[in-house]
Amino acid sequence: MAFVAWQGWQRFENQQQRLDEVAQQAEDSASQQTVNDLESRLDSGEAERDEALQSALSDLRSEFESYRSNVDETLGQVLDQLSQEQDTDEREWLHAEAAYLLRLANQRLQFEGDVEGAAALLRTADARLADADNPALTPRTRSDCQ
């Protein structure tokens, strides 16, 4: 009887061990399924994030190109306007140069007493005004040089 009880106990232990193994396998299988589900959700989330990132990047590039185009257009307009405002007549340059030469002649005469240097500067100013072809200024500079 003890032997039968011992064998019964052994069978019970074996069955209990097998039940534990089956439960462990079921738990491992469930854990594996959970891990697989989580990996799937993670992959799906990464794909959605990558898609959203690509969309945002595309939108940002488009916005940047639009901004760049606007800046280029505005810069072109500003440069055109500046060019139009800066287009000075050659005579204006000659007049400005003559005025500068007159100031230099005045300084040479007053501060240095250099009559010949001042006369040379006045002759050069006279030539610049003659190049400007402005008859209103030509007689005046000739009288100043004499």
124-139 mean pLDDT: 76
Helix ranges, 1-146 (H): 2-86, 90-107, 115-132, 138-145
What is the per-residue pLDDT for 58? 93
User: Does position 137 have pLDDT exceeding 70, yes or no?
Assistant: no
* Residue 47 sits in the same domain as residue 102: no
What is the per-residue pLDDT for 51? 92
* Residue 93 sits in the same domain as residue 83: no
pTM exceeding 0.95: no
* Residue 125 sits in the same domain as residue 96: yes
* Residue 74 sits in the same domain as residue 117: no
Distance CA 129, CA 138 (A): 7
Distance CA 37, CA 43 (A): 10
- Determine how many CB atoms are found less than 10 A away from the CB of residue 123: 14
User: Does position 68 have pLDDT exceeding 80, yes or no?
Assistant: yes
* Residue 75 sits in the same domain as residue 115: no
* Residue 27 sits in the same domain as residue 76: yes
Cβ atoms 111, 80 nearer than 8 A = no
Answer positive or negative: Cα dihedral of 70, 72, 75, 76: negative
* Residue 21 sits in the same domain as residue 59: yes
User: Does position 88 have pLDDT exceeding 70, yes or no?
Assistant: no
What is the per-residue pLDDT for 116? 92
> To the nearest whole number, what is the mean pLDDT of the chain?
82
Total domains present in the chain: 2
Tokens of 129: 């005004």
Q: Is residue 117 in a domain?
A: yes
* Residue 33 sits in the same domain as residue 77: yes
What one-character DSSP code corresponds to residue 133? T
- Determine how many CB atoms are found less than 10 A away from the CB of residue 99: 13
Domain of 54, in residue numbers: 15-87
